[in-house]
Chain A
């Protein structure tokens, strides 16, 4: 904070804005944008990983494996997302704590579920109650990211599975005819060609993921929506250094701009990717694709 902000009551005009926009709460607000981006950066690759695992499991010739794949995708896809967003972090938290409880304090006997409460010994707490606040925040954030990844991974699995099936059989058979092993065919032909078919679905999924990030708020992570609401509220001079009226419209407009910007960047990137994959896309009977699609 700048020196002249020491006494907020005396600053005016540009200086007032400079002071106002650099208060600690505003800094938290700015950081929450990074939290959203971090969530996206963590969830997307994790969901892709789960998506691949789910798709390959579903396609596996080994029955139990394909059963697991099918169970995962249909269960997650069938249950409302919000239920999973709420369920997974709590379930994972309790699972971790229960495991630690069993290992770290075996001497404690008696059930962990006492009435409506889930009680583990102090040593099993995650994070430990003595841990810094940032550890708690980070832990909560990671649990939330997992929740997102598991939900979006199931959708990604569906898309990837479909895209793998969409690759023309003749392309794979030709690889076999030229002596490629199953593994070589998968890595050299099947997977690269899958992307062209999966990208529209995955792009869609990414946009839905971007739009779902405010659900972090539901999980107790103080995200952009939380801060925009908090900062925008009317502030009276009696309690606040920088009193102002109801500015929520302005703050939510900032969110609008932020999300539009993320959307714009994503769409640019994704359409470029799509164009790249389309260059080498399917030619059935060698017929050229119409120009509009090929570009």
Chain B
């Protein structure tokens, strides 16, 4: 189960032990928009090689939680600990903000995000999309970045689309390119926010396949999904979020096979019939 990214974290291979330092650790996160408290004290851990799937109805705060992990949103309280290093804070006006943007960038470059709407940069070709951040942010040479980029485009099966623009690709191809873009950062962990929700059912499968492949490689991932089968298949740990709190969590066979919370039972029956 030692993926490349896991191996780079000196000596902290995925071993399943509870005492291993999580790659991503969100601690008692509270996030409000104005008066609306969206995340109400959530703790979430993803250890090396672990796939955590996050399920819950629309509006339950899944995206917000994920966006807190890479600091696209700043939680009002709680800690974000990446690879054992907590993000430090300072107060600006009446708000709490990260004290050091370098810490933020360190988290972001090691925690690549895949978005529901793909968000490929529309003015760049597929290859340029995949090499942009490695060149600009990580300071890789163009040649090196292209080599790496092609490798990951090949992995997701669209290396022949290198020179196309996002608009010229199908949704499934775009999402696979977006996954290649995330992989090209060679991150310690990956965030997926409903990566298949914007796709027609026939295109969904090709993306699901890629995600399963990555999970099987032992990549550390936090995956938000509405696809219960996918959640069950790839997860080491399932978290059910309801109105900003964790209602139930555990390993997939427990959560799906022996559901305890009423709300999750309700939610699961609704998604099956939907």
Contacts and interface: CB of A to CB of B under 8 A. Distances in A.
B137 A184 contact: yes
B171 A192 contact: no
Contact of B133 (A178, A281, A284): A178
A179 B166 contact: no
B213 to A, nearest CB: 21
Contacts of B112: 177-178
A178 B123 contact: no
Interface in B145-197: 165-171, 174-175, 181, 185
Interface stretch (A38-46, A118-126, A167-175, A250-258): A167-175
Contacts of B137: 178-180, 184
A171 B115 contact: no
B167 A178 contact: no
B246 interface: no
Nearest to A288: B167
B94 interface: no
Contact of A192 (B123, B138, B170, B181): B123
Contacts of B118: 283, 285-286
A25 interface: no
A286 B117 contact: yes
Contact of B166 (A173, A175, A189, A286): A286
Give the most central of B119, B168, B174: most A CB within 10 Å. B119
A200 B132 CA distance: 27
B115 A174 contact: yes
Nearest to A189: B121
Interface string A45-88: 00000000000000000000000000000000000000000000
B121 A174 contact: yes
Contact of A177 (B70, B123, B166): B70
A178 B112 CA distance: 7
Nearest to A289: B167
Contact of B105 (A181, A280, A286): A181
A280 B174 CA distance: 13
A147 interface: no
Which of under 10, 10 to 19, 20 to 34, or 35 or more describes the interface residues of B?
A: 35 or more
Contacts of B101: 181
Contact of A176 (B108, B123, B167): B108
B113 A281 contact: no
Interface string A4-28: 0000000000000000000000000
Interface string A272-295: 000001011111111111000010
Q: How large is the interface on A (under 10, 10 to 19, 20 to 34, 35 or more residues)?
A: 20 to 34
A294 B167 CA distance: 8
B72 A177 contact: yes
Contacts of B255: none
A170 B115 contact: yes
B64 to A, nearest CB: 14
A287 B171 contact: yes
B108 A179 contact: yes
A193 B133 contact: no
B132 A283 contact: no
Contacts of A188: 132, 136
A153 interface: no
B198 interface: yes
B109 interface: yes
A184 to B, nearest CB: 5
Contact of B109 (A171, A179, A288): A179
B122 interface: yes
A171 B166 CA distance: 13
Contacts of A176: 72, 108
B117 A285 contact: yes
27 contacts: A170-B115, A174-B113, A174-B119, A176-B108, A177-B112, A177-B113, A178-B109, A178-B132, A178-B133, A178-B185, A179-B108, A180-B136, A184-B137, A188-B132, A189-B121, A193-B123, A196-B123, A280-B123, A281-B122, A281-B123, A282-B122, A285-B171, A285-B198, A286-B118, A286-B120, A286-B171, A286-B174
Given A181-B105, A283-B166, 5 more contacts: A170-B117, A171-B122, A174-B121, A176-B72, A283-B167
